[in-house]
Amino acid sequence: MMAWQGIEGHDAIAAEFARAHARGRVAGTYLFIGPPGVGKGMFARRLAKALTCAAPRAGLVACESCASCVQAEAGSHPDIDVVQKPEDKATIPIDLLIGDADHRMREGLCWRLLLKPAVGGRKVAVILDADQLAEEAANCLLKTLEEPPPEAVIILVGTALERQLPTIRSRCQIVRFRPLAADEIVRVLRGEPAARQLDGERLAACAASAGGSLDRARQLLDDELMAFRAALFRILGTRPLRGVDLAREVLAVVDAAGKEAPPRRARLRTVLDSALDFFRAAIRQDATGQQPAEAALTAAVASWHGDGERAATCLAHTLDALDGIERNAYLPILVDAWTALLEEPRLAQSS
């Protein structure tokens, strides 16, 4: 059976939306929550297309041929609004939601939602990067989320409930997206040009190391990044941990991505995700004795036996570093600070 609109792993969620649509019970506000890179944003866009389609097929699948679908696919549908954090900003600016200072509530997403649908009978707004909603921007959304315009659907896409304001969470139906299974990731990768020349064993290794994230699996198709993952485990498994050595190796990998900010941030994000895998495995080993399945990880975390508390502190520092990437922190300083904290996590925690 084909995945819903070509999106692997979330057929059960699609079926719930199809049943709600058939009963005329689609809600006005949703908050999609799940790990990065599992297809939440793509699901929201495809759902918007299906909800505005003139003749959706069974299972709430867009027909792909009506004028509405053609406009949605081109990104020019007047009734589908997609808002996301600009590449050069740390948060979603309030101007995108309610207009700039000279045009408050005469421009922006909230104002456009008040307009009548131009093509069909429904308007859909998708707010990507909801984790990066500044408090002021989030607060200006509250009235719209509490009383959405008739026939409007608003979808916020984030990674964790804890990163959303309680006032946002309470106004939305929560839809939880799970990490993708390794075989689901492999199926997607097989159809992509970057992976067509790779053998099944290599694809399986990338999928198994991706933590359920398709974006991360795509990064790990890079031979350099996959090799660095194993090298990173060896560095983290060496006691005492030398932060200077770790910083030098990490920055070399980031610099190899070139001078453009997006690929550099993507590389560092993949490195930090691998570090999270390491510290989670160390915590799991200390708490339960469970050994990780990945051979390179098994050997490396052995040196952390009995040190689960320190691993938990290092994991928290790594999560903070990931947040720093989203806040557009200067990467060399971010890496230096992160590695210094890993070298002396208890000292950093108590200061």
pLDDT, tens digit (0-9, with 9 covering 90-100), for 230-285: 999 999 999 889 999 999 999 999 999 999 999 999 999 999 999 999 999 999 99
Tell me the CA end-to-end span of the chain in Å, nearest whole number: 56
Q: Are 156 and 32 in contact (CB under 8 A)?
A: yes
pLDDT tens figures, 144-180? 999 999 989 999 999 999 889 999 999 999 999 999 9
Give me 49's structure tokens: 């297309």
CA distances (Å), origin 177, targets 52, 82, 133, 163, 349? 23, 20, 20, 16, 33
Average per-residue pLDDT for the chain: 92
Give me 81's structure tokens: 């609004």
Name residue 124's beta-bridge partners: 80, 153
Give me 173's structure tokens: 């139906």
pTM of the predicted model over 0.75: yes
Q: What is the DSSP string of 126-179?
A: EE--GGGB-HHHHHHHHHHHHSPPTTEEEEEEES-GGGS-HHHHTTSEEEEPPP
Q: Which CATH class is domain 4-176?
A: alpha beta
Share of the chain above pLDDT 90, in %: 77
User: Is the confidence at residue 351, as pLDDT, over 50?
Assistant: no
Per-residue b or e along 160-176, where b marks 16 or more CB atoms closer than 10 Å to that residue's CB: eeeebeeebeebbeebe
Place of tokens 């036996």: 305
Q: Are 250 and 273 in contact (CB under 8 A)?
A: no
Cis peptide before 240 (omega within 30 of 0): yes
Name the packing angle between helices 223-237 and 261-288 (round to 10°). Answer: 40
Phi/psi at 174 (nearest 5 deg)?
-90, 130
Give me 280's structure tokens: 């989670």
Average pLDDT over residues 214-240: 93
The residues spanned by each domain of the chain are: 4-176, 222-350
